[in-house]
């Protein structure tokens, strides 16, 4: 075995499997919950507001891939360069972020998302950092069946954390206190993870999201005309999938600047449809319908009883999740 894998406790080495490096691994996803707790069987990490990224480093080759398997090397070249000097072959999981003061900001990261030219990406002047929180493959061995806490023990030994690549610290206790502190600081919230959990490519109750704010992805199915001095568009008409039907969730008319409004209108003009993609009748003055393949991150205060967003606000576009996978996130009582 690899020298590092030999560090694992004897009872865990039997969970290690020799394997060639896979081209792709489906990321493990956290389940939204309203529960807040401390438990010695769980660890707690800050929830970051960025773009999920899996990194595959083999020999001199580095591949950065989004959740939708889009290549990100040219979007975040400094991250790829930093990982290229790593001694070990690894597959790691983490989040690429940009900072607005002391807080990670998906809105600020928008200035880098979608850029395909590494020189252009660097010229934006937006500094990005890759916070790594999991290790799934190490020097010829698949370690996804090894408990999380042991994978995290190996992680700082397997990856050189410097420059734009950083280790996401965790806490072993005080989940409620850490959550309250995160919310006071204006952070996203926490992710609670069961210490003994294996890494599975699904949404799992072994990883839980404690959110300080309500945000989720929604599909853009249309837009309205601008009024008064507004340019580009008035509001986005958004929804989510339920039973393979696109359900209408309301209109989003705030959170834009002039540049964003014009950019969105340019993108949407090439997607117009004659009929609404929503499953129910939507009556909005000056509505235009579009092919529902663009995903927006939207902040809001709450869901209304009839399934609409209250006080929604546009945060940014997401290209790391297929529109057909966007569903309404409902907090679940999942801890046993």
Residues designated as active site: 47
Distance CA 309, CA 305 (A): 10
Burial pattern 5-33, b for ≥16 Cβ within 10 A else e, equals beebeeebeeebeeeebeeebebbebbbb
Q: Is the dihedral of CA 97, 250, 324, 198 positive or negative?
A: positive
Distance CA 222, CA 85 (A): 45
Residue 136 main-chain phi, psi, to 5 deg: -115, -20
CB 138 within 8 A of CB 57: no
How wide is the angle at C-alpha 50 spanned by C-alphas 238 and 155, nearest 5°?
A: 140
Burial pattern 165-181, b for ≥16 Cβ within 10 A else e, equals bbebebbeeebeebbee
Strand ranges in 266-310 using DSSP code E only, listed in sequence order: 272-273, 287-300, 302-303, 309-310
Burial pattern 297-321, b for ≥16 Cβ within 10 A else e, equals bbbbeebeeeeebeebbbbbbbebb
The DSSP code sequence of 140-152 is TEE-TTS-HHHHH
The neighbouring-strand residues paired with 251 are 237
């Amino acid at each position: 075995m690899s020298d590092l894998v030999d560090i694992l406790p004897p009872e865990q080495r039997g969970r290690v499997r020799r394997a060639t490096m896979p081209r792709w691994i489906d990321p493990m996803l956290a389940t939204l919950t309203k529960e807040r707790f401390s438990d010695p069987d769980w660890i707690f990490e800050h929830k970051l507001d960025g773009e999920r990224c899996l990194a595959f480093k083999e020999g001199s080759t580095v591949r950065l891939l989004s959740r939708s398997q889009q290549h990100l090397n040219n979007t975040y070249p400094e991250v790829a360069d930093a990982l290229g000097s790593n001694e070990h072959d690894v597959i790691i999981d983490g989040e690429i972020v940009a900072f607005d003061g002391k807080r990670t900001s998906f809105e600020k990261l928008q200035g880098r998302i979608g850029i395909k030219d590494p020189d252009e990406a660097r010229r934006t002047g937006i500094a990005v950092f890759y916070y790594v929180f999991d290790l799934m493959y190490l020097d010829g061995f698949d370690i996804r069946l090894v408990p999380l806490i042991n994978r995290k023990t190996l992680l700082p030994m397997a990856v050189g954390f410097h420059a734009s690549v950083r280790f996401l610290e965790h806490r072993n206790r005080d989940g409620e206190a850490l959550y309250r502190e995160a919310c006071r600081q204006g952070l996203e919230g926490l992710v609670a993870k069961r210490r003994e959990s294996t890494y599975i490519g699904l949404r799992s109750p072994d990883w839980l999201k404690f959110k300080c704010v309500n945000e989720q992805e929604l599909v853009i199915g249309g837009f309205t005309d601008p009024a008064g001095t507004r340019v580009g568009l008035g509001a986005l008409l958004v929804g989510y999938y339920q039973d393979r039907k696109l359900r209408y969730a309301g209109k989003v008319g705030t959170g834009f600047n002039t540049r964003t409004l014009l950019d969105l209108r340019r993108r949407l003009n090439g997607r117009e449809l004659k009929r609404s993609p929503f499953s129910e009748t939507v009556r909005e003055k000056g509505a235009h319908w579009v092919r529902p393949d663009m995903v927006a991150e939207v902040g809001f205060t709450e869901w209304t009883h009839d399934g609409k967003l209250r006080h929604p606000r546009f945060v940014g576009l997401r290209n790391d999740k297929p529109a057909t996978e966007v569903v309404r996130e409902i907090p679940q009582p999942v801890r046993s």
